[in-house]
């Protein structure tokens, strides 16, 4: 360990730009692999098979010389070489952002041993993948957050100063584990409180209304029409635990009596207890006198992100991510003009706030304490 540390210090002293350059180039290659993870894992595809990347449009294999990080996208002007179709700029953005983050780690944490820097890169890479998957699919994969959490615990053991000055390795480990599990529990409590206060909605009608469940016109979602209101399935069931109930409802094809019709993401339970699979029906219809919805105000995936953030940044980082992420999320919603009630992933805002804490957390705490002292005195 001492030889590795001395070598890193020597390279940094001789050429401060060399290590960030190497990490940046390596980060671009890792970003290319992250694009594979981002595309395949949410779809249940293997990351290893097929080994060669393929066109997301026509599924043709992509040769290595057309899969160079950042350069290929710029040379092909955002088009695939096989079928000439445009593909998302996210591929280039992930490679570029990953390169910049890796280079920043090598530059900012140059006094640490190289193993700590590598573990920080693992944490950043896993969180970047979570950022994009949650942004595109509104889902967090616990397997990726666990990789980040393990990397964060490793950093706390090798560089306990992450948890505070004068901290021993064992104390750093305890702080990391406490931040991880404390962050997970905190976010689960916030989610439960949000579900209790804001996750319930109920509507009653003066007269029975017709309802219809069918495939949406775009073919990518399911819609529930109640009177003149249109509800999308993706909005009602952002979490698998969500429930939607039609009050005093009937279902015509099965001649059910009036009562509660309880929808889950993939089934309908009739008043007599009969359970229907929605995949086996093209459409369902009936009448109701109202409806009640119960859904998560914050997804359970955010708690897994808090686990990864707490493992590296401690409980202070978790609190900062929650508060800072809220401001970032509100700002993004205002800029993007996202209206109230429109689903929006919170994970990207959390990860952005956690990265701010990673690089500038100590400075932010010092500035805050100085401001408090100034206000008091």
Asked whether residue 9 carries a pLDDT value surpassing 70, the answer given is no
| Predicted local distance difference test score (pLDDT) of residue 68 | 81
Identify the residue whose tokens are 């949650």.
134
Single pTM value for the model: 0.74
User: What distance in Å separates the CA atoms of residue 9 and residue 279, rounded to the nearest whole number?
Assistant: 61
- What is the per-residue pLDDT across 288-327, written as a single tens digit (0 to 9) for each? 988 888 765 566 788 999 999 999 998 889 999 999 998 9
Is 7 strand, coil or helix? helix
Tell me which of 187 and 339 has the higher pLDDT. Answer: 187
Tell me which of 2 and 188 has the higher pLDDT. Answer: 188
Measuring CA to CA, which residue among 191, 11, 20, 19 is closest to residue 103?
Answer: 20
| Predicted local distance difference test score (pLDDT) of residue 199 | 61
Give the whole-number percent of the chain exceeding pLDDT 90. Answer: 28
| Predicted local distance difference test score (pLDDT) of residue 1 | 44
What is the average pLDDT across 5-21? 65
Distance of CA 159 to the CA centre of its chain: 27
- What is the per-residue pLDDT across 43-56, written as a single tens digit (0 to 9) for each? 888 888 777 777 77
- What is the per-residue pLDDT across 128-153, written as a single tens digit (0 to 9) for each? 999 999 998 888 899 999 999 999 99
CB-based contact 258:245 (threshold 8 Å): no
């Amino acid at each position: 360990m001492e030889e590795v540390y001395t070598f890193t210090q020597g390279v940094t002293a001789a050429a401060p730009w060399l290590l960030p350059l190497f990490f940046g180039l390596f980060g671009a290659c890792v970003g290319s692999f992250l694009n594979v993870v981002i595309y395949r894992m949410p779809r249940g595809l293997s990351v290893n098979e097929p080994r060669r990347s393929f066109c997301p449009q026509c599924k043709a294999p992509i040769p290595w010389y057309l899969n160079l990080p950042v350069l290929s996208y710029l040379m092909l002007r955002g088009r695939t070489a096989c079928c000439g179709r445009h593909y998302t700029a996210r591929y280039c953005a992930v490679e570029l952002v990953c390169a910049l983050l890796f280079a920043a780690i090598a530059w900012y944490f140059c006094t640490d041993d190289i193993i700590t820097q590598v573990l920080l890169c693992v944490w950043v890479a896993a969180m970047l993948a979570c950022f994009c998957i949650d942004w595109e699919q509104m889902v967090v994969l616990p397997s990726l957050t666990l990789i980040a959490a393990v990397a964060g615990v490793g950093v706390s053991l090798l560089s306990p100063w992450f948890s505070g000055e004068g901290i021993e390795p064992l104390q750093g480990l305890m702080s990391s584990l406490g931040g991880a599990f404390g962050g997970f529990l905190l976010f689960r409590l916030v989610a439960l409180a949000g579900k209790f206060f804001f996750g319930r909605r109920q509507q009653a009608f003066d007269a029975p209304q017709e309802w219809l469940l069918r495939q949406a016109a775009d073919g990518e979602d399911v819609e529930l029409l109640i009177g003149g209101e249109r509800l999308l399935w993706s909005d009602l069931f952002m979490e698998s635990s969500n429930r939607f109930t039609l009050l005093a409802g009937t279902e015509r094809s099965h001649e059910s009596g009036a009562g509660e019709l309880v929808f889950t993401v993939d089934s309908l339970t009739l008043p007599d207890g009969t359970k229907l699979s929605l995949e086996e029906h093209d459409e369902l219809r009936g009448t109701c006198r109202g409806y009640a919805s119960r859904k998560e105000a914050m997804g359970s995936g955010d708690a897994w992100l808090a686990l990864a953030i707490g493992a590296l940044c401690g409980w202070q980082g978790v609190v900062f991510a929650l508060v800072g992420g809220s401001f970032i999320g509100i700002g993004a919603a205002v800029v993007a003009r996202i209206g109230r009630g429109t689903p929006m992933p919170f994970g990207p805002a959390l990860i952005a706030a956690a990265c701010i804490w990673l690089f500038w957390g100590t400075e932010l705490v010092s500035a805050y304490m100085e401001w408090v002292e100034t206000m008091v005195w």
